[in-house]
Amino acid sequence: MTPNATPVIVSFARYFSRPFCPECGREQFVPEQSSFVDDGCIRHAWLCEACGNAFNTHIEFDELSL
């Protein structure tokens, strides 16, 4: 498998990479909210269904560029 064979899927997977709750370690599936912070960054706000912990993740667009 070569990286160039599936660039869209790779980007999709990285964009939607699922974090783990820092409190209980449960994998998160859908962000509560996604927002553009600026031109190069998206912030996802997560709310853990297992323990109710809220946390944020950031994704830089530079990481998605191929």
Residues of this chain that bind Zn ion (CB under 5 A): 21, 23-24, 26, 48, 50-51, 53
Q: How far is the CB of 27 from Zn ion (least distance, A)?
A: 10
Contact predicate 46/59, CB 8 Å: no
Q: What are phi and psi of 36, to 5 degrees?
A: -80, 120
Residue 26 or 58 with smaller CB distance to Zn ion? 26
Residue 21 or 59 with smaller CB distance to Zn ion? 21
The 3-state DSSP class for residue 43 equals strand
CB atoms within 10 A of CB 46: 21
Residue 25 or 40 with smaller CB distance to Zn ion? 25
